[in-house]
Amino acid sequence: MTTVEPGRSAVGGQALLDRLDRLEPGRPHRRLMFQGGLGYTFDSFDGALMGYALSAVIVLWGIAAGTAGWLLSSIFFGYLVGALLAGVLADRFGRRRLMMSALLIFCLFSLLMATSSGTTELFVWRALSGVGIGAESTLIAPYISEFLPARHRGRFVARTVGFLALGYVLAGIVAPLVVSPHPETGWRIAAVLAAAPVLLLLWWRKSLPESPRYLIARGRVAEAAAVVEALERDAGGAEQGPARSAGANGAERAAAPTDEEGTARQRATPADAHSRASAVAPPPASAVPPRKHSALGRLTALWQGRTARTTVVLWVVWFILTGVNYGFTSWLPAMLVAAKGFTITKSFLFALVTALAQIPGYYAASALIDRVERKWLIAAYATGATLAALGVALADGHATLLVSAAFLAAFTSGSAAVYYTYTAELYPTAIRTTGMGAASAVGRVGAIAAPIAIGYAYESVGFTNVFLALVGALAVAVAVIVVFGEKTAGRSLEQLEGTTV
């Protein structure tokens, strides 16, 4: 590993950050989006397919509703641990290494899950597979965001998150074919299928680069320069000046003006000089290698200064929106069978329609995210989800129920595309994945609590009142993001660091 002196690293690192923000997204960015998106696809494919499979297990094994809620939440116990650990460790050891390790963990325990012979064993393997999938899904959004310029960041990250919809749709197609005909063995086959695509993803990801912003924050400017130059070459937008020089020395020379730049500076007006000086001095925090904080130090940093307010807002949003999303998707097939008299096959087909509804939800979010301020877009989607949940609660026929459930799926999933992007923007590079991991972990607490609470509440208050409770929770999320949320649209990650630290 090559490092340079802190002062020179700050200058060279800032030049590389400028180049990243000037580079128009091209083939390498689309490849990263596709690879990260496949990670989300397989994550949601596993979550949805095993949701269908476990719904069949609940019926086959005669599991009580309260116990069933714990079983449906098992994956989220692992998600919580994986998200928190990955966030902290990725800020110390790098994004790429943790993403690869997480996939291996997920694949191993998913295969073991297929061998389960009882509820306890199934719970344990499912929770341990969640450690891997929770870690991997937490890191994708911040990883992708660190390669992108401000003006395109929202659209690219939202589209990457939008790959989640493909996994839900794929699971909705596979479940009736694999689980429904022979549920006794079909759910085990589903567990194996959930792990299989990850092997292909591991092969594809052998060429993933490390985040240049992470490398700069760690003082590894020479390695960051190599990554940036490779991006420029691959995108067809390589610069011709001294910034092209490789290695630490090249990164240092990037800050020195060429003769043409010197002449331009002499001709500049005082207003130009003032504007330029305010833009580059002092250098952004991420351009300066930080002190090597411990894991506890990085977690403590989430509660210092203005970052504390950011953390509170994000944790509330993640807890409620993730809880509602997973509580709804986990219980929908089982509740349709128990409360509405659906067959398992019909409930799966009903859930497939709601999964298809997520695609326009994600697409609309990616189209709007760089045009509408993030906080207002999250609030709009959460408001739509609130109204849709009210429609589900009050539906008096299958058609009304289907339409309301489809809108609920579209709004809750579309909001995820925005708040994943939003969270990755609001924390400094040195603690970005720690912040993302902590917020994701809190979201997983919501995902754990919601299915369990729904399981017990459904027994005592019924289908309608369960969804009325979701309405109240969503209203709280809307109020918090509207009143306390930060504005981030169109601002570079370095500019945002200056306002949140």
The per-residue pLDDT for range 28-74, each reduced to its tens digit, is 888 888 888 888 888 889 888 888 888 888 888 888 877 887 887 78
Q: Which residue has the tokens 């990725």?
A: 90
- Place 93 in a pLDDT band, splitting at 50, 70 and 90: confident
Helix or strand (DSSP H, E) at 429: none
Number of H helices and number of E strands within the chain? 20, 0
Integer Cα distance of 232 and 57 in angstroms: 51
CB 430 within 8 Å of CB 285 = yes
- pTM passes above 0.85: no
For the stretch 96-128, pLDDT in tens is: 888 888 888 888 898 999 898 888 999 999 999
The string of DSSP letters for 313-350 reads HHHHHHHHHHHHHHHHHHHHHHHHHHHH---HHHHHHH
Most confident of 235-244, 248-257, 489-498: 489-498
Looking at per-residue confidence, does 254 or 206 come out higher?
A: 206
- Average per-residue pLDDT in the chain? 77
- Place 480 in a pLDDT band, splitting at 50, 70 and 90: very high
Say what the pLDDT of residue 343 is: 67
- Place 78 in a pLDDT band, splitting at 50, 70 and 90: confident
For the stretch 342-387, pLDDT in tens is: 666 677 777 778 888 888 988 898 889 888 888 999 999 989 988 8
Residue 310 pLDDT > 80: yes
CB 415 within 8 Å of CB 407 = no
Domain ranges of the chain: 6-214+295-500
Say what the pLDDT of residue 277 is: 34
% of the chain beyond a pLDDT of 70:
79
* Eight-state DSSP code of residue 223: H
Say what the pLDDT of residue 261 is: 38
254-262 own/partner pairs: CB under 8 Å, 24+ apart: 254/11, 254/12, 254/15, 254/16, 254/19, 255/11, 255/12, 255/14, 255/15
Mean pLDDT of 192-218: 81
% of the chain beyond a pLDDT of 90:
9
Residue 498 pLDDT > 50: yes
Mean pLDDT of 305-334: 83
* Residue 445 token pair: 């607490």
C-beta atoms surrounding 248 within 10 Å: 22
Class of domain 6-214+295-500: mainly alpha
Q: Report H helices in 61-149.
A: 65-93, 95-113, 119-145
For the stretch 267-294, pLDDT in tens is: 333 333 333 333 333 344 333 444 455 6
Residue 130 pLDDT > 60: yes
Integer Cα distance of 277 and 126 in angstroms: 54
Residue 140 pLDDT > 50: yes
